Amino acid sequence: MKAVIFSCSLKDGKNSSSQSWSELLASKMQEQSIDTKIINLKQFDYEASTGQDLLHEQLAECYDANFITFAAPINFKNVSFFARNLAKRFAYANKKASADGIDLFAGKQFEVCIMHGCKNDHLPDGREIYVEYDGKYTKQFKSFLPELDYILPNRFLNLRVWQPADKHGPDRKKLHLDTETVNDINDTIQAFKKNYKEFKNKVLLRDWLSYFRCDEPNAFGRGYTLAPTAINTDSVQKHIDWTHKNIDDVNIKAQIFVSMKERCIRSDCYDEAELYFNEQFELGEQGKMQPGDTYDTKHNDPNKIVVVRWKKNGFRITRSANYRPNNY
């Protein structure tokens, strides 16, 4: 049996809850003699690439895999663009192969694990309302499902992890000590083994991989970001304009702008970092409630006394991810 785990965090692996969870899952699988490979998307920087698609070659690992997992964080109320763009690759390949009468993922099981905080809010008197995850699809999961309609995961996993705005979840360094996390992983492995079936691919590896290939210039999110060597004032302004024109989801825009702000700082390009911060700040201004705006809240508080400062689908500049380093 073989498993492939895609770690879809924008952060470097050592700082990522998604990577920590992936490594824990891999270690538990290897204990049960399941050959396991982790593919960390951050290492390939596909969205900023302009040449060879190095990530495409990694997909060969999935050719003979029985079990494929996407592990992804929530950034600004949305699954990371790494995860969304990877899901688009699989959806594209599936549609392309189906047109030829080929079930590209026959014999494969899929799993998705989303790292997120708990649901919480504050009443006017400062009391925090904390709601445990109830096992139903979260809003973030529901927004991701259309890109996963070609697979039927055994179980959708939602992992609460520590973050500055939600200190209830386990720290990434201590996931292996968290009973709930370990039990979820063990249950996932048992479901995988229970549903395991031997299979033989009906197409050769090179043909299987060809279904994932797309020659469109911005296929699967290419162009979302810039490589460090491509950063200058002119390229950054063009990138900002391209993002506004091509990305509709305000929270994906926020992921892009914050990631590029970090990349500019790391590259000692502070003027360019300022341009991205200006865009990030403006998204926050646009997301604020204004006089006359309404918000249809379904809060369970019997008196319905809830302080609402942000538009329902607006970008909240108070989110911890605005300030927390992501090392992009």
Domains of the chain, first to last: 2-210 (3.40.50.360), 225-322 (no CATH)
Question: How far is the first Cα of the chain from the last one, in angstroms, to the nearest whole number?
Answer: 34
Q: Shortest CA distance to 147 belongs to which of 214, 92, 221?
A: 92
What pLDDT does residue 305 have? 46
Task: Please give the Cα distance from 215 to 320 (Å, whole number).
Answer: 37
Continuous H helices in 211-326: 233-246, 250-266, 270-287
Q: In this predicted model, what pLDDT tens digit does every residue of 13-47 receive, in sequence order?
A: 677 889 999 999 999 999 999 999 999 999 999 99
Radius of gyration of the chain from its Cα atoms, rounded to whole angstroms: 21
pLDDT tens track for 42-73: 999 999 999 889 999 999 999 999 999 999 88
pLDDT in tens, 267-280: 999 999 999 999 98
Q: What percent of the chain has pLDDT over 70?
A: 71
Q: What is the pTM of this model?
A: 0.84
Provide the CB-side half-sphere exposure for 187 (13 A, CA). Answer: 10
CB 264 within 8 A of CB 276: yes
Q: Give whole-number Cα distances, 78 to 72, 142, 214, in Å.
A: 10, 10, 25
* CB 274, CB 265: distance < 8 Å: no
pLDDT band at 218 (very low <50, low <70, confident <90, very high): very high
Secondary structure letter of residue 310 according to DSSP: B
CA dist 197 and 135 (Å) reads: 28
